[in-house]
Chains A and B, each alone.
Chain A
Amino acid sequence: MAVSLSINGEIKEVDADPQTPLLWVLRDHLNMTGTKFGCGIAQCGACTVHVDGAAVRSCQYPLEAAVGSEIKTIEGLSPDSSHPLQKYWVEMNVPQCGYCQSGMLMAAAALLEEIPEPTDEDIEAYVDNICRCGTYTRVRAAIHKAAADMKA
């Protein structure tokens, strides 16, 4: 069954079972591979995307639920990697292997939309993604830096 999705401001046609998780629609059907598969049970957050501005774990988000919503993925976080989070992620050498970082960035971006000046506790609550390389302290520091920039 073909449906239309609005992703990063573009309309995409997808022919897939309505129960297919959005993660696999993005990765397999649309070849948008920036969104990562990590666990499949909404535990790790590697697949985090925005649906109508809210961070959701796309591995547990069925295609049919995404129809009619505005979806944003890492590919659409900014047109040219100019989002302050992306800037500080590079400048502060945040990622190691980098595999979880699309999800980290999308979770952090949703946080800053909702809480422009987050505390450590806000960050811990919103960005509870798993990073096996252990980049957490840098993720936290970079979010604070980006928040300060966005306020300025």
Chain B
Amino acid sequence: MNEIVKLNRRKFLISSAALGGAMVIGTKAMAASVDSQPWDKANASGSAEFTPWLTINADGSVVVRVTAVDIGQGTLTQVAGYVYEELSPAWDMIKPEYASTNRDFLENNVYSTPGGALAYFSGRSTGPARMDTYLQVAASARERLKAAAAAKWGVDAGEITVKDGVISHAGSSNSAQMGELIAEAAEIELEAEPAIKDQSEWTFLGKKAPAKVQLPKIVNGTLTYGIDVRPEGMVYAAIRQSPVMGGKLVSYDEAAIKDMPGVLAVVTVDPGENVPTDLTPPFPFGVSTAQHAVAVIAEHYWQARTALDALPIVWDDGPGAQWKTTEQMNEAAMAAVQQTGAKIETSVGDFEAVFADADDADMIEADYLTPYCEQAPLEPLNGTCLVTPDRVDFWHPSQHSQMAYMVAADETGVAPENVFFHQTFVGGGFGRRVFSDDARMVVAVAKKYPGKPVQVIWSREEATRQGRYRPLMAAKLKASLGADGMPTALLGRMSGGPGFFVSGMPDTALTGIMKNVQIESQTVPFHILTGPYRGPGYNSNAFFVETFIDECAVKAGIDPMEYRIKLYGQWPDVGWVKCLEEVKAKSGWGETLPKGQGRGVAIGNWGMGGKPDEGTTVATVAKVEVSQDGELKILQLDVAFDTGRIVNEDAVRTELEGGTMFGLNMSVNEGLNIEDGRIVEGNFDEYPMIRMADLPTQINVHFGGLTNAPRFFEIGEPPTGVVGPAVGNAIFQATGKRIRSTPFRLHDLSWS
């Protein structure tokens, strides 16, 4: 809240132009209020900017500036909801726009006060700090409007109401539209900023579930994604990076293609050709390092693509080529967990002493493996950039606009105040567009063809083979079981390539419960680049941990659901058992199934960081059928969750549905192969995706796991980790086959 008070000390800005502009109020409830291109909008003439976050226009429309990128999870709608709750304009008069990273730089981090509510131009839209900021901004504007009306009408401000854009005083029958009072309101100085409503007084948040504001523009094809921008004079580029990551360009034969239709130029990208800036990026610039590449620039994309395919290129593969096969890498990762890891992530008690005291018959141990996976957002990587000596304009479907903005400055050497980043809509993120390596490649190509906007588009094959993947990870889990079958000590080891994420094992409820536990990690020197992928670390570790718990339950002879209820009943966060009880009750758990069918359960938490009452807990029950010849069919999925509280029920439901399908695809289908250091799979014919026919008619999302604890945690990533182990555990129930690696489609599931 402190940040807000400071912000409201800013003198309110009124544009010098005369007040004007027609009053336009939409007639359709829940109609789109977002523009197809909600970026770079100057304040309208006659508007009042109450803070950098909120401007009210003379027509009564309310512009709210959003930092967290909307990648389909609905951040624009969520922020519109905050404004509606406290300010109450007409719903369709709320205009969410993207906050300008350039302005953030120029105005001393107005949107990203270090350590403040909006430090992060990405991620958790519902973070309480960010939510409170918007609620405060809206409440402060409302009180100024009321004070302005009170002064004008000579009535008590406390008797004035604001509802759906109309300011009114019942006693005197005075009323005004919001836009009519903004000039006066902006002059008001309050003695103190109003308190925001207590959550129990909310009438919109948590009560209404508006559809996303951009949907009307999606369904008629007018929403502008990165690949859809068309600045004047734009040309297109097709790009190819070294097929082996870390490899170098040796030569290419430009003469072979220079006369092909439309070809304008062939340019190269080298790491280290950037002009470093002294900006401090949200992630170290190292995660965005350029890769050696060739790009063909042409008048049209198809011409560029055709010419690139015809261009003879010689690469020096470099050391990555030593990894000849997937199996070689899997073995290296698996070998790494057969000995003590170089890093001890957490260690409590003395697991070795407990293991030494245990009978061999009470010991259980298993090794697990998950492969590289590609985020595969459906909008292929792309970006459009115009570089001139003293200015950069960059249109890009980023997941982190501040990172991409700084990367553009760092690549070109153009002063940050002259770099203009234009955040477009995003055709799927899933973590792929956070590190901004794609942004850097676009800028690096465009700066070689200055003076023209260049739209760089990766082919699907190129995007798949030049990823920042979910890391390949191996794990060993080992436990001793007590007389009651419950674990008494635990050893966990993880291995993966450089930069792999450990979250989801040292910081789980299981590790927290154990009195004797050690979790270790070991880095294996793979050359394949990795990055965030929906639920980093957790998406593999939840599979390891929850498959292992299932194996413990089976060894103990206890129903896997009851085993978990007993185990996680020891964890102080009651949401865990609440979620389990919810899916137990709703999924038909325990009902007899025909041969070849099985139910499995798994539970996990994304974001808890080792602490109770943090993060989002999700429990999933999968019901599957495995035919005798091994064909897997998902019959039913039941999901319960605990985020604490929720703001938009349907937004939460869609994320749980989507995250569950994402995790299902990850576990059943996904896995990249390596051959001579290169990624083998290129397109969806080789890297299969779940389609409608592969799914049950519905995914049952249940709300009975919510504890109403005072937090609103994120929901996009948490479902991803648990559906895989739930399905794997169901396969075991159906077939007796224990699956310890993904993707499941590579396993022989046949039974007799």
Contact (Cβ within 8 A) B219 A120 = no
Q: Which of B221, B261, B684 contacts A33 (CB 8 A)?
A: B221
Contact of B697 among A40, A81, A93, A137 (CB under 8 A): A137
Q: Shortest Cβ distance from B510 into chain A, in angstroms?
A: 28
Docked pose: A44 CA to B377 CA in angstroms: 12
Known: A41-B683, A128-B691. A137 touches B378 (CB 8 A): no
Complex CA distance for A120 and B378, rounded to whole angstroms = 24
Are the CB atoms of B662 and A134 closer together than 8 Å? Answer: yes
Is the beta-carbon distance between B684 and A39 smaller than 8 angstroms? yes
Which residues of chain A are within 8 angstroms of B113 by Cβ–Cβ distance? none
Sample (22) of A-B pairs whose CB atoms are under 8 Å apart? A20-B300, A27-B301, A32-B221, A34-B220, A38-B378, A38-B380, A81-B216, A90-B215, A90-B219, A92-B211, A93-B209, A97-B72, A97-B426, A99-B428, A123-B692, A128-B691, A131-B378, A132-B376, A132-B662, A134-B660, A137-B698, A137-B699
* B302 adjacent to chain A (CB < 8 Å): yes
How many CB-defined contacts (below 8 Å) exist between A and B? 183
Residue pair B72, A95 in contact (C-beta under 8 Å): yes
Decide: A134 near B219, CB < 8 A? Known: A33-B230, A40-B459, A43-B684: no
Chain A residues within an 8 Å CB radius of B219: 74, 81, 85-86, 89-90, 95, 101, 105
If the complex has contacts A41-B460, A130-B378, are A97 and B427 also in contact, measured as CB distance less than 8 A? yes
14 more A-B residue pairs beyond the given contacts A99-B427, A132-B689, with a C-beta to C-beta distance below 8 A: A17-B261, A27-B301, A29-B300, A32-B221, A33-B224, A36-B227, A38-B379, A38-B460, A41-B460, A90-B215, A128-B692, A135-B654, A136-B661, A139-B692
Give the docked Cα–Cα distance between A90 and B224 (Å).
17
Please indicate the chain B residues that have their CB under 8 angstroms from the CB of A27 in the complex: 301
CA distance A12 to B230 in the complex (A): 19
Pick the 3 closest A-B CB pairs, nearest first. A34-B221, A134-B661, A99-B427
B71 at the interface (CB under 8 A from A): yes
Bound together, the chains give a CA A63 to CA B654 distance in angstroms of 38
Tell whether B625 is near chain A: CB-to-CB under 8 Å: no
Q: Which residue of chain B has the shortest Cβ distance to A24 in the bound complex?
A: B302
Q: Is B650 an interface residue (CB 8 A)?
A: yes
Complex interface: chain A residues within 8 A of B376 (CB): 132
Contacts of B300 in A (CB 8 A): 16, 20, 24, 28-29
Q: A31 contacts which chain B residues (CB < 8 A)? A: 230
The answer to whether A100 and B378 touch across the interface, beta carbons within 8 angstroms, is yes
Q: Which of A7-59 contact B (CB under 8 A)?
A: 16-17, 20-21, 24, 27-29, 31-41, 43-44, 46
Contact of A132 among B302, B377, B457, B685 (CB under 8 A): B377
The yes or no answer to B268 lying at the interface (CB within 8 A) is no
Determine the chain B residues whose CB is within 8 A of the CB of A135 once the complex forms: 654, 657-658
| Neighbouring B residues of A68 by C-beta, 8 Å | none
Q: Contact: B220 with A74, CB < 8 Å?
A: yes
Partner of A120, one of B379, B654, B658, B697: B697
- The residue from B224, B379, B425, B691 contacting A129, defined by CB atoms under 8 A apart: B691
* Interface membership of B73, Cβ < 8 A: yes
When distances are taken between beta carbons in the complex, the residues of chain B under 8 Å from A40 are 459-460, 683
Q: Give the residue name and chain of the A residue nearest to B212 (CB).
A: A93
Shortest Cβ distance from A99 into B: residue: B427
Q: Which residue of A lies closest to B658 (CB)?
A: A134
B529 at the A interface (CB under 8 A): no
Q: How far is the CB of B522 from chain A (nearest CB, A)?
A: 32
Which of chain A's residues have a CB closer than 8 A to the CB of B684?
39, 41, 43-44, 130
Q: Per a CB cutoff under 8 Å, which of A16, A39, A85, A86 touches B683?
A: A39
Q: Any chain B CB within 8 A of the CB of A117?
A: no
Q: A77 near B: Cβ within 8 Å?
A: yes
Asked, given contacts A20-B302, A132-B430, whether A95 binds B218 with beta carbons under 8 Å apart, the answer is yes
Q: Is residue B693 within 8 Å, beta carbon to beta carbon, of the partner chain?
A: yes
Check B236 for interface membership: any CB of A closer than 8 A. yes
Shortest A1–chain B CB gap in Å is 11
Q: Does A96 contact B (CB under 8 A)?
A: yes
- Categorize the interface residue count of chain A: 35 or more
B222 within 8 A of A: yes
B691 with A95: CB separation less than 8 A: no
Range class of the B interface residue count: 35 or more
B84 at the A interface (CB under 8 A): no
Does residue B35 face the partner (Cβ distance < 8 Å to A)?
no
| A77 proximity list for chain B (CB < 8 A) | 220
A66 CB within 8 Å of chain B: no
CB proximity to A under 8 Å, residues B26-77: 71-73
Is the CB of B364 closer than 8 A to any CB of chain A?
Answer: no
Cα–Cα, bound, A86→B428 (Å): 21
Interface string of B186-228 (1 = CB under 8 A from A): 0000000000000000000000010110111011111111011
The 8 A CB mask of A82-117 against B (1 = contact, 0 = none) is 000110011111111111111001000000000000
> How far does the alpha carbon of A149 sit from the alpha carbon of B66 in the complex, in Å?
37
Question: Please, which residues of chain B bring their CB within 8 A of the CB of A86?
Answer: 219-220
Question: Is residue B695 within 8 Å, beta carbon to beta carbon, of the partner chain?
Answer: yes
User: Is the Cβ of B658 less than 8 Å from the Cβ of A133?
Assistant: yes
Contacts of B227 in A (CB 8 A): 33, 36-37
Interface 0/1 of A121-152, CB less than 8 Å to B = 00111011111111111111100000000000
Q: Is the CB of B692 within 8 A of A136?
A: yes
Question: Which residue on A lies nearest to B664, using beta carbons?
Answer: A134
A131 → B minimal CB distance (Å): 7
Could you tell me the distance in whole angstroms from the C-beta of A150 to the nearest C-beta in chain B? 16
**A75 within 8 A of partner (CB):** yes
Which of chain A's residues have a CB closer than 8 A to the CB of B691? 124, 128-130, 136
- State the Cβ distance, B651 to closest chain A Cβ, in Å: 8
Task: Report chain B residues within 8 Å CB of A97.
Answer: 71-72, 377-379, 425-429
Q: How far is the CB of B709 from chain A (nearest CB, A)?
A: 26
How far in angstroms is the closest Cβ of chain A from B230?
Answer: 6
Q: Which of B73, B211, B221, B665 contacts A74 (CB 8 A)?
A: B221
Which B-chain residue is minimally distant from A79 (CB atoms)?
Answer: B220
Docked complex: B426-453 residues within 8 A CB-CB of A: 426-430
A47 to B735, CA, bound (A): 40
Closest to A86 in B: B219
Chain B contacts for A140, CB-based, 8 A: 692, 697
Residues from chain A with Cβ under 8 Å of B457 in the complex: 37
Beta-carbon contact of A73 and B428 below 8 Å: no
Q: How far is the CA of A95 from the CA of B691 in the complex (A)?
A: 15
Q: Taking CB as reference atom, which chain B residue is nearest A85? A: B219
B215 and A89 contacting across the interface, CB-CB below 8 Å: yes
1/0 per position for B400-436, CB-CB distance to A under 8 A?
A: 0000000000000000000000000111111000000
Bound-complex Cα distance A97 to B424 (A): 12
Hey, which chain B residues are within 8 Å of A32, CB to CB?
221
Residues of B within 8 A of A130 (CB): 378, 684, 689, 691
Question: How far is B72's CA from A131's CA once the two chains are assembled, in angstroms?
Answer: 12
Q: Which residues of A contact B429 (CB under 8 A)?
A: 97
Q: In the complex, A40→B657 CA distance in Å?
A: 27
- Shortest distance from the beta carbon of B204 to any chain A beta carbon, whole Å: 16
